[in-house]
Amino acid sequence: MNLLHVSASPRGPQSESLAVAATFLDTVREVTPEAAIEEWDLWDGSLPAFGPDAVTGKMTVFAGGQPTGAAAVAWDAATTTFRRFDAADTYLFTVPMWNAGIPYVLKQFIDVISQPGLIFGFDAERGYSGLLRGKRAAVIYTSAVYGPGRPPAFGADFQAPYFEDWLRWAGITDVSTVHFRPNLATADAATARKTAHDQARDLAKVLAADPGHRVAGV
C-alpha cells in the first residue's frame, strides 16, 4: 500500500480534518506497518503557480505540440508535481469547507496536475476520459456551520460535489468519504467528532487490510 495524504488545511493542531486524518493514518500504520505513507501539506510552498506560462504549456500540449521557453519550464513543473501525486495507489484527502467550497490551495493543486495526457485524455467525439486507473481515494470533509438538513442560511455544499466530480473525472471511481459537520456555533460537537473518528478508523482498517478492496462511501 502506497498512500499519499494530501492536506488542504492550514490550521495544524487546531484542524478537525487533520485530527480525523491522524486517526486514519495511525490505524493504517497499526494494521499494515509496512505501508508507505507520504504527507503532502499543500501549504508548504511546493505547489508551482499556474499562470500564463503554464496555461500556454498546457494548451500547446493539448493541441499536440511541444512547449518551449517559459512555457516549457512551467509545463515541467506541472508534470513533476503530477508524478509525485501519481506515485501513490491510495489517497487520503483532508478537505475543510471554505466559503461553501474547497480551499483555494486545493483548487491550485487540481489546476496544476489536471493536464492532458497525465490526468485526462480527450476525444472530439467521446469527450474526456480519466487516466488515473486502479487508484482509491478516501476523503475527509469538515465544515463548522454547514450541515445536511440545516436551513439555507447555514450555507450550501459546493465542496463534496465538486471534489468528487473531479476525482471521478480523473478516473478515480473508488471513493470513500467521512463527514464531520457539526454546527460548532451552537452545539456540542463531541458526538459528531467521535463518529467521524470511528468512521475514519473503520475505513482505514478495511483499506489497509486489503489494498485491492473497494469500499462504498462511509
How far apart CA 94 and CA 96 sit, in angstroms, is 7
Query: Is 21 part of any domain?
Result: yes
* Spatial strand order in the sheet of 90-96: 36-41, 2-7, 90-96, 136-142, 174-180
How far apart CA 7 and CA 121 sit, in angstroms, is 27
The pLDDT assigned to 216 comes to: 47
Quote the strand ranges of the chain, DSSP E.
Answer: 2-7, 36-41, 90-96, 120-123, 127-130, 136-142, 174-180
The pLDDT assigned to 183 comes to: 77
Q: Which of 152, 142, 123 is nearest to 189 (CA)?
A: 142
How far apart CA 204 and CA 62 sit, in angstroms, is 38
Copy the grid coordinates of residue 106.
486545493
Query: Is 79 part of any domain?
Result: yes
Query: Is 69 part of any domain?
Result: no
Query: Is 112 part of any domain?
Result: yes
- Cβ–Cβ under 8 Å, residues 7 and 40: yes
Query: Is 53 part of any domain?
Result: no
Query: Is 29 part of any domain?
Result: yes
Query: Is 198 part of any domain?
Result: yes
The pLDDT assigned to 210 comes to: 77
CA distances from 85 to 142, 145, 179, 189 (A): 23, 31, 24, 33
The pLDDT assigned to 184 comes to: 66
The pLDDT assigned to 146 comes to: 92
Quote the strand ranges of 85-153, DSSP E.
Answer: 90-96, 120-123, 127-130, 136-142
Averaged in consecutive runs of 10 residues, what is the pLDDT profile of the chain (218 residues)? 97 95 97 96 96 96 95 97 97 97 98 96 95 96 92 94 98 96 75 93 92 52
- At 122, which CATH number? 3.40.50.360
The pLDDT assigned to 211 comes to: 65
Range of the domain at 152: 2-48+74-209
**The whole model's pTM is what?**
0.93
The pLDDT assigned to 101 comes to: 97
Neighbouring C-beta atoms of residue 21, cutoff 10 Å: 24
Domain count, the chain: 1
Query: Is 61 part of any domain?
Result: no
